[in-house]
A and B are shown apart, each in its own frame.
Chain A
């Protein structure tokens, strides 16, 4: 990732140079020849024998990724990710498949600062779906998310909560955060036939493993 960014920056740097207005370059040269400050050029005057420090980070590695697949070893889950959005009624969208997971693509990317959110069905009309056993996850369990560029991010479960479907802290679940989080949502509780939905929602909270 960092190499990739470095490459982009290099390309930008090169194109930036070649794009330079001719007048700037000409003037720059003219200026060098006719430097009015007749004092000698003041440049870094120290020896370069000193050892530059190692292991420096040029850029925070937190662009995040567009997730393509999710693996939850503790649940034996390994599936593809669909992008979902926000429905007209304000609900987070859900994946079309019962064996896939939906990522709220208008929100944070996994690995970027903020709460990335993914939802999966607990059941279909006829049987269990991908997040059927989500509530079995325990603190410390790992969630592995991959993109299409072979990038892998591992998140660690930090907690889980059940909320009444109408009283979940939606703002918090989708809020910005300084760290990188991934929240997994599914349904739980009794199924309300009249409303056609479960009475509760389960949220498993995870954060990026260092």
Chain B
């Protein structure tokens, strides 16, 4: 069922559609261990897929925005390309909005959304010019943007997303980007990279809210499925940690070859992300499995660092050696996941998927060092999108393996919150429960009279 990419309601951008087929769950539902159609135990359906698509676009927006601001203030050559990729992301988001709310709404969205990117550019420019007034104006413009954007989404979703809540959410987004930039500018790199992770992660909440509102608004277009299930949350959580890995890896490699001052902080954040992924693995497969996973996973980060180092040293042999080690890594990582998921993810498929991941990161890096920046950011975007396929495959396998952990059904009936001691019966509207009456009389709770007449 996973290969059958249902035609998503929104226009799925290229980067998202590229990723799934090579890394699919091996016939996860061939097992008879649990009943099919268990609504909350599926990781893919039109509603959950919409959520994942929006998560992809929104979180990549946050990542690219942070990168573009860094490159902007540093006057780096790749600024234009980073900003260009950010604009492509805006295009894709606007198309998604248009596919749900119509062309005109899509245009309106694009105008509002683009404005906030513009204000961030203003903020960076004013900072570069040491122009305090300009910075303040940019922040004030961002405040104005929040109101407009919140109003747009409130209207579009017919009040399912409340402007008040949206403004709060948007404030967090804006603040995270400003803070990431300010931390970077002032050399507090650790904070800057904490903020990148937070800023990306925040967008998954936005994606959930937006996809929830859309599926609630047009239920029939999403087979009446919910975006809010434990299985969907697992998919989103894995998407988040895996995509953050790709984003940080690509950026860390750039910082490495540039010998940038924030390289250490970027690498440290990448390691923290490894810890996050390991914690997720541990929650499913236990401490021992997690330790094994961490060793294997960290090794591939190490080999990428080797590759960067060899590139820096113009050491062709070293680069080849790193690639060879990455090949070996793929086999190990694939075998681990095949075993852990009891064959739900097949080693052969996994190796293929991991090859895509490794190749995308290497291509992004090589394009960067070769100064083909548009290609570099296209590769990064693809590497980023690919990880959402990883999240889908992993979550699909895990949910299939441990269905009871993801049952989490909501009630289908209201609770039974009364025994009738103080109420009229439908059989005899006058008769009171004798004991109830007695107690009422004893406690002198005369309010009861009111209750009785109300009923």
CB within 8 Å of B: which residues of A? 9, 12-13, 15-17, 19-21, 23-24, 27-28, 30-32, 34-37, 41-53, 56-60, 62, 84, 86-87, 89-94, 102, 104, 106-107, 113-114, 119-129, 131-133, 135, 163, 165-166, 168, 170-171, 173-179, 185-194, 196-199, 201, 210
Contacts and interface: CB of A to CB of B under 8 A. Distances in A.
Nearest to A193: B425
30 contacts: A9-B194, A24-B271, A27-B305, A28-B263, A35-B258, A36-B257, A43-B261, A48-B186, A50-B130, A53-B182, A57-B175, A58-B194, A86-B409, A106-B408, A119-B415, A121-B419, A122-B417, A123-B419, A123-B421, A124-B421, A126-B436, A129-B418, A133-B451, A175-B226, A175-B228, A178-B166, A190-B423, A190-B426, A194-B427, A198-B418
B269 interface: yes
A198 B422 CA distance: 11
B415 to A, nearest CB: 4
| Interface-central residue, B187, B227, B272, by most chain A CB under 10 Å | B272
| Interface-central residue, B165, B198, B262, B411, by most chain A CB under 10 Å | B411
Given A21-B271, A126-B433, A127-B439, A187 B417 contact: yes
Contacts of B198: 58-59
B36 interface: no
4 smallest CB-CB distances across A and B, nearest first, come from A187-B418, A191-B420, A16-B272, A176-B228
| Interface-central residue, A17, A50, A60, A163, by most chain B CB under 10 Å | A60
B425 A191 contact: yes
Interface string B194-208: 110010001001001
B1 interface: no
B127 interface: yes
Interface size class of B (residues with CB under 8 A): 35 or more
A178 B186 contact: no
Contacts of A119: 415, 417
B412 A42 contact: no
Nearest to A38: B259
B375 interface: no
Contacts of A24: 267, 271, 301-302, 305
Given A84-B415, A135-B454, A178-B162, 18 more contacts: A16-B268, A16-B275, A28-B267, A28-B305, A41-B258, A45-B74, A52-B182, A53-B182, A58-B194, A60-B202, A86-B409, A89-B413, A102-B415, A122-B423, A128-B445, A133-B447, A192-B426, A198-B417
A122 B413 contact: no
Contact of A197 (B128, B132, B409, B418): B418
Contacts of B186: 44, 48, 52
Interface stretch (B4-12, B82-90, B209-217): B209-217
B332 interface: no
A45 B418 contact: no
A97 to B, nearest CB: 12
Contact of A123 (B202, B261, B306, B422): B422
Interface of B: 73-76, 127-128, 130, 132, 135, 139, 160-162, 164-166, 168-169, 171-172, 175-176, 178-179, 182, 184-187, 190, 194-195, 198, 202, 205, 208-209, 212-213, 216, 226-228, 256-264, 267-269, 271-272, 274-275, 298, 301-302, 305-306, 308-309, 311-314, 408-427, 429, 433, 435-436, 438-440, 443, 445, 447-448, 451, 454-455
A176 B275 contact: no
Nearest to B258: A37
B182 to A, nearest CB: 5
A37 B259 contact: yes
Contacts of A48: 185-187
B433 A178 contact: no
Contacts of B179: 56, 58
Contacts of A124: 419, 421
A141 to B, nearest CB: 17
Contacts of B130: 46-47, 49-50
